[in-house]
Amino acid sequence: NAGVMQNPRHLVRRRGQEARLRCSPMKGHSHVYWYRQLPEEGLKFMVYLQKENIIDESGMPKERFSAEFPKEGPSILRIQQVVRGDSAAYFCASSPSMDEQFFGPGTRLTVL
């Protein structure tokens, strides 16, 4: 059973561009969570999704950030008009229920 997959692993964008991060959950997992890890800080919850529904987006900035988990295909975290402060590691986790969350390897976003 493959683990959580994220791509790309590394992403470089210039200020003002869009960043699109993908997450494929583990087989059989219908709950997806996105977290951000800034240098020297802990992991911060951003958004929780189930298939085709955003359940909790209380940790996600109101502007420029959006997330989706379509019926078919991976979950997408989209950041529009990136700024240098968006540089971070973004982790996706999946869960078969609402308990243990299993994390992917992360996408390291660098904004130039």
The residue ranges that bind another protein (CB under 8 A) are: 4, 6, 33, 35, 41-48, 55-56, 58-59, 91, 98-106
16 Rama sector, left if φ>0, alpha if ψ -120 to 50, beta otherwise: left
Q: How far is the CB of 54 from another protein (least distance, A)?
A: 11
* Residue with Cβ nearer another protein (79 or 95): 95
| Tokens describing residue 49 | 């999704």
Through-space distance between the first and last CA atoms of the chain, rounded to whole angstroms: 37
* Residue with Cβ nearer another protein (50 or 81): 50
Measured in whole angstroms, the distance separating CA 56 from the mean position of its chain's CA atoms is 13
* Residue with Cβ nearer another protein (15 or 51): 51
